Amino acid sequence: MSDSPPSLFPPATPTSTGMLAVDDLHTIYWEEVGNPQGIPVLFLHGGPGAGISPQHRRFFDPRHYRVILFDQRGAGKSLPLGETRNNTTQLLIEDIEKLRVLFNVQQWLVFGGSWGSTLALAYGQAHPEACLGFILRGIFLCTALEIDWFMDGAQWFHPEIHEEFAAAIPFEERDNLLQAYYRRIMDPDPEVYWPAVRAWSRFEGRRVFLLPQPDEPSCDTVDLGLGRLEAHYMANLGFFEEDQLLRDVDRIAHLPVVIVQGRYDVICPPFTAWRLHKRWPGSKVAMVPDAGHAAMEAGISRELVNATEQFRRLGRFD
């Protein structure tokens, strides 16, 4: 292979998969991909609740990386799907440590996008000694301002999408769409929560790419995991103090990081990535000029692979 990396590596099959009971309620799905003797890397998916996919394995050269991926509590193949009880950022961090012990990893590279960047920062700040560095995409610090933007800033760029999303809520409740949707999504009646989680998932999915994409068929696993867990975490401000992740960057500022950000990301706008960059001495930013939020947009996937390849060659980012 030349030193110019492909946009993505070929599809890879897990070397092992399994389920790990992390408490009396939750069991999480995990998979291991690549070289068992390679550089350990932890992949953190977005959402919360989006789950992992086979495409996520393709950011890493399987000859040189040992990739650990998992579905976070309530997401993907983890059980119970969409469960919000015993589901906080602090408990997700404990789950990551359980996986690190399970795989006998001393230190690993931490890779996360969108909510995965949030969780990567939170995990790193809790366990800096376990981290080699970070590759972060579409930065989300879970502040009140960012959550307000996610819910209502959409109307500045996608007024028709926001109007459709709000139309499902009675007029008198539209001053707080997050709480209105949260009540419906958490309702025990399937006749109430299914339309709400599907509307939520569609609202996000139609804004992810810079250029419009064909509508994909609805997927109950994604809709329930994404809708319920995003509403749960946003309603609780991610279980953080305000701006906690930026405040505590000093705990990991000695470690290398590459930040990959779409210039026209309307889910997680570039201002947040820039705030993190300015707070983190030595951080590198790859601002992709022709991309939105999605990891699979060509420019973003190319920069993510560039980052994994650079870390593989150098053990750092130059």
In which order are the strands placed within the sheet that holds 131-137? Answer: 16-21, 27-34, 65-70, 39-44, 108-113, 131-137, 257-262, 284-288
How does pLDDT run across 10-30, given as a tens digit for each residue? 999 999 999 999 999 999 999
Q: Average per-residue pLDDT in the chain?
A: 95
Q: Are the C-beta atoms of 65 and 43 separated by less than 8 Å?
A: no
DSSP state letters, 96-109: HHHHHHHTT-S-EE
Name the pairing type of β-strands 131-137 and 108-113: parallel
| Exposure on the CB side of residue 14, measured as CA atoms within 13 A | 15
- Indicate the pLDDT class of residue 114, thresholds 50, 70 and 90: very high
Q: How many CB atoms lie under 10 A from the CB of residue 106? A: 9
Do residues 180 and 172 make contact, with C-beta atoms less than 8 angstroms apart? no
218 is catalytic: no
Catalytic pick from 114, 117, 283, 301? 114
Amino acid at 192: V
158 is catalytic: no
Tokens at residue 233, please? 């975490």
CATH topology of domain 16-143+239-314: Rossmann fold (3.40.50)
φ, ψ for residue 261, nearest 5 deg: -140, 130
Would you say residue 213 has pLDDT above 90?
no
Whether 293 is catalytic is: yes
Is the model's pTM score more than 0.85? yes
> Which is the catalytic residue, given 56, 265, 283, 301?
265
SS3 8: coil
Tell me which of 26, 117, 293, 301 is the catalytic residue.
293
User: Which tens digits make up the pLDDT trace of 58-73?
Assistant: 999 999 999 999 999 9
Residue 3, pLDDT > 70, answer no
How is the chain split into domains, by residue range?
16-143+239-314, 144-238
